[in-house]
Amino acid sequence: MRTKKTIDLYALTWRVPIILWQLLFFVGPVLFMVAISFFVVKNYRMTEAFEVVNWQKMLSRGYFWDSYWYTLFIASLSASIAMLIAFPAAWALAFRASDRLRSWAVFLLIIPFFTSYLVRTFSWYVILAESGVLNAILGFVGLGPFTMLNTHFGTIVGYLTLTLPLAVILQTVTMANIDKNLIEAARNLGCKPLATIWRVVLPLSKTGMIIAALFCFILAFGDFVAPFYLGGSQEPTLPILILDTTKSGQQWPRAAVVAIMMMLTLFTIAFTAIALAYRKPKGSK
Partner 1 sequence: MTKHKKTTSNQFIRRDVLRIGGGVALSAPFVGRAWAETVEINMLAWYGHGEPDMVGAFEEANNVKFVPKYYAGGDNMLALIAQSPPGTYDIILSDGEFVQQLNAAGYIEELSADDYPFDDMLHEDFTKFPGHWDGDKLYSMILRGGHLGVSYNTTAMSAEEASSYEGFWKPELKGKVGHFDWHLPNLGMMSLKNGNGASLWDLTDDQWSAVQETTLSLREQIGGYFDYGGTFNGLKNGEMQAMCGIGDWITGVLERDGAPVASIIPKEGGIQFTESYCIGKDSEKADLVKSFIQYMMSPEGQVKSAQMLAYPGFCVTKGGRALLQEVDAKEAERSHQIDGMPNEPIALINEGRIHYRDIPQQQTLEDWNDFWSEYKNA
> By the criterion CB under 8 A, which residues form the site for partner 1?
43-46, 61-63, 66-67, 125, 129-132, 147, 149-150, 228-229, 231-236, 241, 244-245, 247-251
CB of 269 to partner 1, least distance (A): 23
Closer Cβ to partner 1, 102 or 254, answer by number: 254
CA distance 171 to 217: 15
CA distance 58 to 264: 15
CB of 235 to partner 1, least distance (A): 6
CB of 244 to partner 1, least distance (A): 6
Measuring CA to CA, how many Å separate 60 from each of 36, 189, 212?
19, 59, 34
Closer Cβ to partner 1, 181 or 248, answer by number: 248
Closer Cβ to partner 1, 34 or 46, answer by number: 46
CB of 250 to partner 1, least distance (A): 4
Q: Which residues of 33-63 are buried (b: 16+ CB within 10 A; e: fewer)?
A: beebbbbbbeeeeeeeeeeeebbeebeeeee
Closer Cβ to partner 1, 21 or 125, answer by number: 125
Main-chain dihedrals φ then ψ at residue 224, nearest 5 degrees = -100, -35
CA distance 110 to 101: 14
CB of 28 to partner 1, least distance (A): 20
Closer Cβ to partner 1, 69 or 271, answer by number: 69
Q: What angle do CA 45, 49, 53 make, to 5 degrees?
A: 90
Q: Which of 115, 278, 94 is nearest to 201 (CA)?
A: 94
Closer Cβ to partner 1, 220 or 238, answer by number: 238
Q: Are 157 and 124 in contact (CB under 8 A)?
A: yes
CB of 69 to partner 1, least distance (A): 10
